[in-house]
Chains A and B, each alone.
Chain A
Amino acid sequence: GEDVEQSLFLSVREGDSSVINCTYTDSSSTYLYWYKQEPGAGLQLLTYIFSNMDMKQDQRLTVLLNKKDKHLSLRIADTQTGDSAIYFCAETMEYGNKLVFGAGTILRVKS
């Protein structure tokens, strides 16, 4: 069945780049998402990428998709303390009505 895996924890220094990785198993995944959850809050959609794209850039965020390896990554440039949060990877199919989420990666930014 569908599965999405992420590493549990990442620690970086303020100003460095962060790279959060995600792998998925379903080759028919068409849409892939990154969500951010700040402490005590709900999830906020950060960015998404369609499977016909390899890369998407949005200000400090860069999403890379390697369809062959079923690997998705989120790069945050110039990481700030406000980027400290849990980051969830998720995927769905073309006409899917549910997202499958990874367990989340805790990003800790040290000043």
Chain B
Amino acid sequence: DVKVTQSSRYLVKRTGEKVFLECVQDMDHENMFWYRQDPGLGLRLIYFSYDVKMKEKGDIPEGYSVSREKKERFSLILESASTNQTSMYLCASSLETARYGYTFGSGTRLTVV
């Protein structure tokens, strides 16, 4: 069964900490995505990647960076966590064209205190 695995289901971090959210897929997908989900705002795209070492900004990249050193792994980095980054973070992957849709991970609920 194809899978997208996010390393943590729940995280609590302090303001100002550097936070790493990890995502691994085992489907040899070219594309990987990071979204955040907040009540009433739906899914908002933070960053995406079409290939190893490639990255593109999404709709809300401020305060975040990403790393894709290997095809199967896409990391989201909060350089200096702030309370307004408390959210549900969802990773997804897809083939080069998204026609078959995305496969999502289970999500990481991050709380910044």
Instruction: List chain A positions with a Cβ less than 8 A from chain B.
Output: 8, 30-31, 33, 35, 40-45, 48, 88, 90, 92, 94-99, 101-104
* Chain A positions within 8 Å of B43 at CB level: 88, 101, 104
Instruction: List chain B positions with a Cβ less than 8 A from chain A.
Output: 4, 31, 33, 40-43, 45, 48, 50, 90, 92, 94, 96-107, 109
* Contact A96 B98, beta carbon cutoff 8 Å: yes
* Chain B positions within 8 Å of A33 at CB level: 101
Q: Which residue of chain A lies nearest to B109 when distances are taken between CB atoms in the complex? A: A40
Q: In the complex, A11→B97 CA distance in Å? A: 35
Interchain residue pairs A-B with the least CB separation, the first 3? A103-B42, A42-B104, A43-B104
Interface of A is mostly: loop
* Contact A99 B102, beta carbon cutoff 8 Å: yes
B91 to chain A, nearest CB (A): 8
* Chain B positions within 8 Å of A95 at CB level: 97
* Contact B106 A42, beta carbon cutoff 8 Å: yes
Q: In the complex, A92→B99 CA distance in Å? A: 7
A25 to chain B, nearest CB (A): 15
Q: Which residue of chain B lies nearest to A46 when distances are taken between CB atoms in the complex? A: B101
Q: In the complex, A96→B105 CA distance in Å? A: 21
A-B contact sample (7 more), CB < 8 A, given A43-B104, A98-B31:
A42-B104, A88-B43, A90-B101, A92-B98, A97-B50, A103-B41, A103-B42
Q: Which residue of chain A lies nearest to B42 when distances are taken between CB atoms in the complex? A: A103
* Contact A42 B101, beta carbon cutoff 8 Å: no
